[in-house]
Amino acid sequence: MGSVPAAIVTLAVLSQFDLHSASAQHVITFALGAVLIVTAAVLVLGRNIRDRYADRLRALDPFKARLLTVSLGLVTGILVTVTSVGAGAIGVTVLLLLHPKTPVGRIVGSDIAHAVPLTLLAGAGHWYLGSINWGLLSTLLIGSLPGIVVGSYLATRARDGVVRVMLASVLVIVGARLLS
């Protein structure tokens, strides 16, 4: 209820700008760098964040939890549409706080299922706006299939903390580079 309308409005706003201009590229690059660093922080500190705020949010009434979930959707819709980042680590961490009685597997599954239509809508919007590099997209798709297999294999054999720190490190390096 939050992310799809936010993505539509964000695409409408983006359509008013020349996305190929230097100023638009600067804004998108800055936003991407900032969101990557926030995502890295949430990956590393997610458990501490959940532990710190879990008691306060455990007593949250269902209406407020739903309202905050819609708000999370609004933010996620904007972030994913502008940067393609935000639904994963950030979304899951906040959902775990807002819905502490929901099993983690259901939250992760719901977040992934939520990301599919959101990403599809944002991608279709960028296609309409002409901001897709089709050669790059093809290369990414070709590489992603074996990457999923290899990544899944390695992730199941490595400790969760190691994978989390490695991913966060890469995100910080890329994010810092984009911000500089």
**Model confidence pLDDT, tens digit, residues 148-161:** 888 888 877 877 77
Q: Residue 35 falls within a domain, yes or no? A: yes
What's the pLDDT tens digit per position in 61-98? 889 888 988 998 999 899 889 888 877 777 877 887 88
Q: Residue 119 falls within a domain, yes or no? A: yes
| Residue 88: domain span | 3-132+160-179
Q: Residue 141 falls within a domain, yes or no? A: no
DSSP state of 158: S
Q: Residue 145 falls within a domain, yes or no? A: no
Global confidence as pTM: 0.78
Q: Residue 152 falls within a domain, yes or no? A: no
pLDDT at 11: 95
Would you state the torsion angle of the CA atoms of residues 9, 11, 17, 23, taken in this order, to the nearest 10 degrees? 100
Q: Residue 140 falls within a domain, yes or no? A: no
- Name the residue with tokens 């708000």: 71
What's the pLDDT tens digit per position in 89-139? 778 778 878 887 788 778 888 888 888 899 999 999 999 999 899 999 999
Q: Residue 151 falls within a domain, yes or no? A: no
The answer for residues whose C-beta is within 8 angstroms of residue 76's C-beta and 6 or more apart is 2, 3, 6, 86, 87, 90, 91, 118
Domain count across the chain: 1
Q: Residue 82 falls within a domain, yes or no? A: yes
